[in-house]
């Protein structure tokens, strides 16, 4: 059964509130000689980044302008993450600071949204301890933000909407994107996998796929506005389409996007290994615009732990897929996610995770120490290892992988790579920065007007986390 969509009538209600806020904001601008300013902060994954772009889209339509500086904002919105406890602690810390800010600036509005507040116990805590928060809305209420914000602007007390939804998709929400050359395009929301450690299925609901024509139209519109790199987003893109009434899977979406004139690069994340088909491997191989890069989270190396994590594959099955990918697409860049210190993990289990790293030789990994999430099955398990042992293992993991990263980067020295220029380098103001097809960061000397363009770069030096290079020409 395909997911329902927010109806035109429902969205019209949101639009009417956007118009009302716009009127308020116009009056504010006359009285204060400046526009009302909003400040957004995003925690967590790319899905949240994409959701913030929607929030900014709605705010912009309602007449808000934006500021990077929270201190000068009239509205502060935190789009939060619930995947690990430290992300939640960071937000609570920030809320503490905002309390003081609000004391000296009575009209400041504070809003919280996203996965963290979709959990009832968290919202209860915010209401109890952080009385200066004006608005709380969960992941399912994003499209209703205009109405909720309007109410929060006019009512006393906190406005809350964290009702779990029936999984409806809101297609009409406007998007204000950060970059022109690159865009995230969500193809699916939610997750059905219920990995035993993970909170995502509880806060984002069941898997819902967007319709293929809606996705492809979004891509065409982006290209018409100058975007050349498309990154498809979903918790498990490999199961895209299973809930649709038509016979289109993720490989088909990639192939159809590959045909769109003006698209130059296609990336995607995240793939669940259990659903990675041969068809997808051949599609990545055969489509010239699909970047030769794959993020395939393994999480752990021991079959016992994989089973307890409810990952639905064995180490052998994972490695067989990796072998097949490497055979079909030589040189493909592989990345993964690893969790260290799952409750029942022993030192022997952990050694099997190290074996996987040494065997696959990932280009890079995202590694996390297990974080207990209330309401998930793993939260009931007792730990085998002490905190100290888990940290020791985590450090060993980093050591092993750092060496592999450096060696993988060294393979690039002397190569000529096509790089899409992102802008000024984050580490060196005198340099520009961009990415290779495989996703490696390259720093090189060049002018700012190269941003958004493709340049050929000769790699001169491999570093731990990036490459240095020099421009040898424009795009062929």
Q: Which residues bind ligand SF4 (CB under 6 A)?
A: 191, 193-195, 198, 200-201, 235-236, 272
**Distance separating the N- and C-terminal Cα atoms of the chain:** 46
Least distance CB 444 / ligand 5AD (angstroms): 31
- Nearest CA to 260 out of 291, 306, 294, 229 is that of 229
299 is a site residue for ligand 5AD (CB under 6 A) = yes
Least distance CB 295 / ligand SF4 (angstroms): 11
Which residue's beta carbon is nearest to the bound ligand 5AD?
337
339 is a site residue for ligand 5AD (CB under 6 A) = yes
CB 145 within 8 A of CB 113: yes
* Residue span 192-211 as binding mask against ligand 5AD, x where in contact by CB under 6 A, dash where not: -----xx-------------
Least distance CB 80 / ligand 5AD (angstroms): 15
78 is a site residue for ligand 5AD (CB under 6 A) = no
334 is a site residue for ligand 5AD (CB under 6 A) = no
Residue nearer to ligand SF4 on the CB measure, 296 or 420: 296
Least distance CB 335 / ligand SF4 (angstroms): 15
CB 383 within 8 A of CB 99: no
Residue nearer to ligand 5AD on the CB measure, 79 or 436: 79
Residue nearer to ligand 5AD on the CB measure, 87 or 248: 87
Least distance CB 338 / ligand 5AD (angstroms): 7
Indicate which single residue of 64, 150, 313, 370 sits in contact with ligand 5AD (rule: CB under 6 A): 370
84 is a site residue for ligand 5AD (CB under 6 A) = yes
337 is a site residue for ligand 5AD (CB under 6 A) = yes
Least distance CB 313 / ligand 5AD (angstroms): 14
371 is a site residue for ligand 5AD (CB under 6 A) = yes
**Which does residue 170 bind out of ligand SF4, ligand 5AD, none, counting CB within 5 to 8 angstroms by kind?**
none
Least distance CB 112 / ligand 5AD (angstroms): 21
Least distance CB 84 / ligand 5AD (angstroms): 5
Residue nearer to ligand 5AD on the CB measure, 211 or 373: 373
381 is a site residue for ligand 5AD (CB under 6 A) = no
CA separation for the pair 150, 154 (Å, rounded): 6
Indicate which single residue of 21, 62, 83, 215 sits in contact with ligand 5AD (rule: CB under 6 A): 83
Which residues of the shown chain bind ligand 5AD in the complex (CB under 6 A)? 83-84, 197-198, 297, 299, 337, 339, 368, 370-371, 373
């Amino acid at each position: 059964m395909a997911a329902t969509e927010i109806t035109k009538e429902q969205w019209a209600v949101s639009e009417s509130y956007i118009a009302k806020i716009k009127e308020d904001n116009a009056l504010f601008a006359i009285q204060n000689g400046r526009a009302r300013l909003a400040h957004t902060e995003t925690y967590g994954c790319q899905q949240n980044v994409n959701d913030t772009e929607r929030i900014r889209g709605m705010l912009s339509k309602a007449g808000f302008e934006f500021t990077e500086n929270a201190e000068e904002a009239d509205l502060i919105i935190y789009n939060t993450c619930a995947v690990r406890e430290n992300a939640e602690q960071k937000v609570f810390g920030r809320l503490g600071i905002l309390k003081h800010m609000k004391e000296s600036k009575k009209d400041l509005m504070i809003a919280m949204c996203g996965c963290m507040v979709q959990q009832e116990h968290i919202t209860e805590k915010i209401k109890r301890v952080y009385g200066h928060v004006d608005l709380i809305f969960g992941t399912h209420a994003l499209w209703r933000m205009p109405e909720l914000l309007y109410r929060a602007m006019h009512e006393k007390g906190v406005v809350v909407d964290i009702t779990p939804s029936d999984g409806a998709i809101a297609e009409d929400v406007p998007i204000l994107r950060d970059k022109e050359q690159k865009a995230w395009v969500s193809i699916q929301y939610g997750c059905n996998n219920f990995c035993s450690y993970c909170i995502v299925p509880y806060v984002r609901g069941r898997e819902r796929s967007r319709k293929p024509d809606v996705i492809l139209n979004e891509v065409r519109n982006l290209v018409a506005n100058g975007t050349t790199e498309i990154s498809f987003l979903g918790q498990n893109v490999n199961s895209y389409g299973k809930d649709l009434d038509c016979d289109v899977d993720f490989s088909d979406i990639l192939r159809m996007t590959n045909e769109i004139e003006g698209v130059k690069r296609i990336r995607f994340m995240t793939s669940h290994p259990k659903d990675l088909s041969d068809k997808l491997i051949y599609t990545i191989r055969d489509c010239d615009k699909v970047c030769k890069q794959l993020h395939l989270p393994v999480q752990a190396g021991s079959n016992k732990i994989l089973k307890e994590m409810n990952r639905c594959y064995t180490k052998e099955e994972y490695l067989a897929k990796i072998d097949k990918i490497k055979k079909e697409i030589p040189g493909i860049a592989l990345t993964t996610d690893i969790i260290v210190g799952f409750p029942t993990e022993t030192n022997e289990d952990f050694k099997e995770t190290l074996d996987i790293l040494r065997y696959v030789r990932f280009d890079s990994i995202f590694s996390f120490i297990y974080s207990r999430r209330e309401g998930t099955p793993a939260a009931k398990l007792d730990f085998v290892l002490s905190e100290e042992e888990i940290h020791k293992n985590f450090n060993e993991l980093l050591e092993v992988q750092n060496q592999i990263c450096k060696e993988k980067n060294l393979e690039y020295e002397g190569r000529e790579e096509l790089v899409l220029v992102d802008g000024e380098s984050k580490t060196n103001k005198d340099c520009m920065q961009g990415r290779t097809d495989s996703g490696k960061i390259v720093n090189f000397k060049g002018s700012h007007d190269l941003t958004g363009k493709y340049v050929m770069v000769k790699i001169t030096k491999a570093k731990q986390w990036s490459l240095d290079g020099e421009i040898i020409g424009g795009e062929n």
